[in-house]
Amino acid sequence: MLSFFKYISIGIVFVAMISGPIWAQTSSVDSLKNVFNRSKDINTGIELIRAFSPINPDSAVYYLRQTELQDLSEEQKINLEKARAGFLSLTSKYDSAVKVYTELLILLEDKQGYKSTEAEVLDNIGSLYLTLREPTQAIDFLNRSRKIREENGLKSELPKSYYALGNVHLRLSQRTQAIESYKKALEALNGDKEQQVLKANINYMLGANYSGIKNDSALFYLTKAKTLYDSLGPPQSQVQVGTEIAKVMMYQGNYAQAIPVLEKNLIQIEPFKDWQQYFSAYTNLTKAYEGIGDYKKALAYQKLKYDTVVTFLTKQQTQSVAKITEDYRTDKQLDEAEETAFFATQRAKIYGAVVIALILMLIISYLLFTRAIQKKKLENLRAMIIGEENERKRVAKDLHDGIGVLLTSVKLRLTNFEDKVEDKSGFQNSLLQIDNACTEVRRISHNMVPASLTKLGLAESMLDLFDTVQASTDIKIQEKLEYSEGDFDESSEVLIYRILQELVNNTLKYSKANTIQVEMKKLRGEYQIDYKDNGIGFDKATTKKGLGLKSIASRVDILRGKLSIDSAGGAGVNFRITIPTRHE
């Protein structure tokens, strides 16, 4: 259950610490624009950057450039850099945002009047590291922020620190520490209206952590969260907290009390049309009705649950299985309608139902057996390739988290001695060499495991690959990528990226092409990738190994996809790859 909360922690921390101030001025954008156009007021320009960052990045860039041309006071420079980092965060340029915030920390160091700002910047860096899946570094920055607030009497800001720390502890599976941090956050709240959403989130996370362990405590906190969410929204939070309350009630054996909560959830999730939420609701309602002994209702919700699965997840069923399933349902409905009037046929109907059930079991067993055989054939190949990717990740992480962090720390420490160094030019050259070393570490790490693949997803990582190729060669790449993030899991996206990377490498090494065309489009239940170049091509009859074909074919097999190649000497090459969205 807690895996869900681990994934939402980033979003909650990010919204609480960054999004709030950005949205504050959106309602008066037009008046702000008029003021800035007349007077070029710096503070107005900063507010426009914040207002446009989440809704119109191009306008945000325009006002950023206009504002940075002005003569800025120290306070205005600090506010501008905060707005710049916020813009970079909202446009998913997380590394650049961290760099801006880090430089801002150096500027704020030892400035007594800016302790609240310094704590806010540390919060934002911690949130960004959590987004980048580096919780250890996130917790270090968040602790530094908490310490500043405690030492400087910034009590109204402490709940945010403790809440953020609780989310990071939860990501690290440190439940006891997470609960302790959440409770400290509750104690530090002062009752301001602006903190009501944070209060609802804290109660929710506490209740979820206690669920299944201390159910009375879980119900206490979840009920508080529900009261707040019912008045504040959004509907998704109301549904989630309702589900958790119902689960706790069922843990306690209070199935009858859980039923109205779950049935209310069914009404609330209707606008979302999300099959997973329906599946969860039907599953819990089945358990609740079984708990009170109403097996007829339990069976009805069980049927709805499996109907949902059939509708959304088994579209590729064979016509024979679908026909047998439909026949079974029709016969069962007739049995139930005629049972009281035709007792004489009851035995025959039961026998027919049993026979149909056996047929279904045989068909399902055959499908499962066939699937198991196919899975076994790919097991060794999958282990080898996935193991190779894992080793790449390990080495890349060691470089980034070890040498990269060490170099950054050295630079920060050296900066503190700048005023004491007589050879300013030599000192700056040394810092430049450290920057170059950091860049080289990031480049090697990126080559082993592209950062864009884990941060921005498959489509952006492929575009990044193509941009790199075009920047370093004379080859022109025409791409058309249609991909919905989340259609494949992380390991599958890595395999698809490696396939495209190998195809591009083959073109660079052997084809003598000057144009590449890549198209990725989503069809019903699968993706189709067409890769073409205008190079010299090759003879398929004689080329069985080399050119990376074996590596490409192996990865396609693991993805349960299909690979076709059309090429002849002097006529270029055309690869067509189809990959089902569900291949496990």
The C-alpha atoms of residue 447 and residue 445 are separated, in whole angstroms, by 5
Average pLDDT of the residues in 47-51: 87
Choose one of 107, 123, 141: the last residue of a domain: 141
Whether residue 556 is contained in a domain is answered as yes
Q: In this structure, is residue 55 part of a structural domain? A: yes
With cut-offs at 50, 70 and 90, classify the pLDDT of residue 577: very high
Among residues 181, 179, 119, the alpha carbon closest in space to that of 145 is found at 119
**From 149-158, 227-236, 313-322, the region with the lowest mean pLDDT:** 313-322
Looking at per-residue confidence, does 66 or 212 come out higher?
66
For the chain, give the mean pLDDT.
78
pLDDT tens column, 191-208: 776 678 888 888 888 888
Q: Which of residues 141, 170, 202 is at a domain's end? A: 141
In the structure encoding, which two tokens stand for residue 542, read together?
């004689």
Q: Is residue 367 situated within a structural domain? A: no
What would the two tokens of residue 127 be? 């949130």
- The CATH number of whichever domain residue 542 belongs to comes to 3.30.565.10
The yes-or-no verdict on residue 476 having pLDDT over 90 is yes
Name the range with the highest mean pLDDT among 280-289, 306-315, 390-399, 405-414.
280-289
Q: Is 245 in contact with 260 (CB distance < 8 Å)?
A: no
DSSP summary character for residue 423: -
Kind of pairing between the strands at 562-567 and 515-523 = unpaired
- Residue 264 vs residue 414, higher pLDDT: 264
Choose the weakest-confidence range: 239-243, 325-329, 488-492, 526-530: 325-329
**Residue 362 placed within a domain:** no
**283 alpha carbon, distance to own chain's centre:** 25
Residue range 540-554: average pLDDT?
Answer: 71
| Per-residue model confidence (pLDDT) at position 408 | 72
Q: Helix 196-210 crosses helix 158-171 at what angle (to 10 degrees)?
A: 30
Q: Which of 129-138, 264-273, 365-374 has the lowest average pLDDT?
A: 365-374
479 has a pLDDT exceeding 90:
yes
Residue where one domain finishes, among candidates 121, 141, 161: 141
CA distance 22 to 282: 39
Please tell me the distance from the alpha carbon of residue 472 to that of residue 468, in angstroms, as a whole number.
6
Cβ-based neighbour number of residue 279 at 10 Å: 17
pLDDT score recorded for residue 21: 38
Does residue 205 belong to any structural domain of this protein? no
Mean pLDDT for the stretch of residues 19-40: 64
Mean pLDDT of 52-73: 86
Residue 298 covered by a domain? no
Polymer length of the chain: 584
385, part of any domain? no
pLDDT value at residue 168: 85
Task: List Cβ neighbours of 460 (8 Å cut-off, separation of 6 or more).
Answer: 452
Report how far residue 366's alpha carbon sits from residue 296's, in angstroms, rounded to the nearest whole number. Answer: 31
Mean pLDDT of 206-233: 85
β-sheet with 476-481: strand ranges across: 476-481, 515-523, 526-533, 573-580, 562-567
* pTM passes above 0.85: no
Q: Can you give the CATH number for the domain in which 83 is found?
A: 1.25.40.10
CA 202 – CA 32 distance, rounded (Å): 35
Model confidence at 377, pLDDT cuts 50, 70, 90, reads: low
Domain that holds residue 83: 1-141
pLDDT tens per residue, range 306-365: 777 676 655 545 444 454 455 545 555 545 555 554 555 556 667 667 778 878 877 887
Phi, psi of 486 (to 5 degrees): 105, -10
Number of domains forming the structure of the chain: 2
Q: What percent of the chain has pLDDT over 70?
A: 74
Establish if 245 belongs to a structural domain.
no
